[in-house]
Structure formats: structure tokens, C-alpha cells
Amino acid sequence: MILRDLTHADAPATPADLRPPRHRVSPRAIRYWTARAAARWAVIVVAQAAWLLAAPADRRWHVLGLAVTAIVAATHLAVMPRWRYAVHRWEAAPDAVYTQSGWFDQSGASRRSRGSRRSTRSAPSFEQLFGLASVTVTTASAAGALEIKGLDRDVADRLVDELTAALALVPAAFAVALAADRARRLGHAVTPATLVSRLGSVVRRRSMLDRDGIVGVNISRSFFQRRAGLVTLTATTAAGEQSYAVLDVTPAEALRVAEAAIPGLLGPFLAETGAGGATGGTPARDASRARLRSAR
């Protein structure tokens, strides 16, 4: 037994601090946040002024309330937009989106952009006056969507294009991997008693059909199979699902499997492709050199 001293050399390293995101929002966001807050404070001030005018002769408390409101509003308008501009940051990596927001309790949020469901750019009318837009990244996370506010419109457009392009690669990569796995899982065999077929990727199926129960075969091909030179051989039966497919095989292989599973069934309908007319071998060997002729 070998014992190691874990107190020094093998002690876990202290993790590095998480740095803030690299990018600030647009400087025009300061004016936008100021104007939006001023509009809200104006509603409160107007309401208090109307209350003051409608008050009885003793208006000292009303005047004091209006003065306090004016002081708080001025302080808020002076501090909030600049504080928000200093804190709010964002960054988009190839596979993640990272944002920072908050006041005294600042929080950072990161989502895998590869798991995003939608990236949208929005610009309400008031934001448009300042040339700004917001980007919302909707993901499958239970924490909800990420929203980056106060961006220049061209920056927002580029960010959405980048996220959308990354999102478009996800289904394509998944489709390629699924197709490769599906092709790897395909298989078939004919034994003295059964026809065996295997197919599927996420849900894999292996079917074993008694050859004595096969009543016929169908050979079909889709548009894409025709372009690839492949067909699907389907054995029909009265039992079970009534049809069992051997997917994506060459026409010659489909004829060979059909002849091996039900000898002589397709013999009268085969057209010889080699020179010299009729063949002298067995139907199973002839099927590899023949093709199924069209019905007249």
C-alpha cells in the first residue's frame, strides 16, 4: 500500500475569481435611463402638485412631501443611470453568454448558447429614439431568459446574428451525428429459419421474422434513396406488425436478401443485366446480377 501526503502537493488549488464580462452597454443608455426615470418621477411630482393645489389652507406637509420627492428624484436621476452603466456588462463566447447586473448585490449569469432556443432583438419606441435595442436569449434553463439591455442597434444585430448562427449549427451537428449512428446500427441477415433486420438510433430495434411466415416483399425507394442508389426491402407477413423493413441497401443486395428469404418469388420478374441472356446458375446467384424489371 502506498500512502500519499495530501496536505501539500495534492491539496486542491484555490479557484480563480470570476472576472466581469468584457463589454459595457452603449453610453447612450445613460441618457435613455435618465429620460425614462424622469418621465416616471414627473408623474409622481404632477400628482403631488395637484394634491398640493387641492389641499386646504395649511399646506406645510404637502410642500414638505413635494420637496422630499424632488430631492429623491434628483438624486436618483443623477446616480442611477451612471451606476447602472458602470455595473451592467455583457460578453458572448462561442458557446456561452455571460452578463452582469444589479445594484449593491451584483450578480453574474451565464447560459450555454448551444442550449438556447431563441435569440431575439427588440427595440421599443422609446429606446429607438436613443438608437438602442435589447437582446433576449431564451434557453431551457429554469432560471429564465437572459436579457442584455442598452445596446447599440448595430451591436444588437451582430450579437443576434452570431447567436442565431451558432444555434443553427446545433441541429445540423446533431443530425449528422444521428445519421452516422443510424447508419452504423443498420444490419440484416438471412438464416435458415429467419430474416433478421436491425435499425434505429435513439430507439433501436431488432426484428426476427420466421421465413415461413413471409407472404411477400416490397421494394421501395424515396427521392433521396434514388439519388444515393439505395432501396428499402420490406417483408410482409400476417403476424405482428405485418411488415418488417431492411433499410438502405443496394438494389442488388435487396434482390439477394429477397431471393434468400423466399427462393423463387422474384425469379419470374428479374431482368438479366449481363451479356449472353439467361444465366445458368441458381436463382440466388443470378439475383446479384439481375434487376427487377418494370411491369409491362
pLDDT score recorded for residue 168:
56
DSSP string, 251-274: HHHHHHHHHHHSTTSSGGGEEE-S
pLDDT of residue 73: 93
Q: What is the pLDDT of residue 74?
A: 94
Q: Given this model, what pLDDT does residue 282 score?
A: 46
Q: Which domains does the chain have, with CATH numbers?
A: 23-177 (2.30.29), 186-292 (2.30.29)
Contact of 266 with 274, CB cutoff 8 Å: no
Q: Given this model, what pLDDT does residue 273 score?
A: 55
Output the tens digit of pLDDT for each of the chain's 296 residues. 223 333 344 444 444 566 788 889 999 999 999 999 999 999 998 988 888 887 776 778 878 888 999 999 999 999 999 998 988 888 887 667 788 877 655 555 555 555 444 555 566 678 888 888 888 877 655 556 778 888 888 888 888 777 776 555 556 666 677 777 777 778 888 888 888 888 877 677 778 888 888 888 888 888 888 888 889 988 888 877 788 888 888 988 888 888 888 888 877 777 665 544 444 444 444 444 455 555 44
Alpha helices in the chain (DSSP H): 28-53, 60-87, 125-128, 153-185, 223-228, 251-261, 283-287
Written as one letter, the residue type at 184 is R
Distance CA 119, CA 97 (A): 11
Phi, psi of 243 (to 5 degrees): -155, 140
- Phi then psi dihedrals of residue 144, to 5 deg: 95, -170
Nearest partner of 113 among 136, 142, 93, judged by Cα? 93
pTM, two decimals, is 0.49
Q: What is the pLDDT of residue 283?
A: 45
- Using an 8 Å Cβ cutoff, are 136 and 120 in contact? yes
Let me know: does 160 contact 144? Beta carbons within 8 Å: no
Q: What separation in angstroms does the CA of 180 have from each of 169, 174, 177, 201, 219?
A: 17, 10, 5, 9, 24
**CA 112, 117, 121, 123 torsion-angle sign:** negative
pLDDT of residue 94: 66
Cell numbers linked to 134: 435589447
Q: How many CB atoms lie within 10 A of CB 160?
A: 18
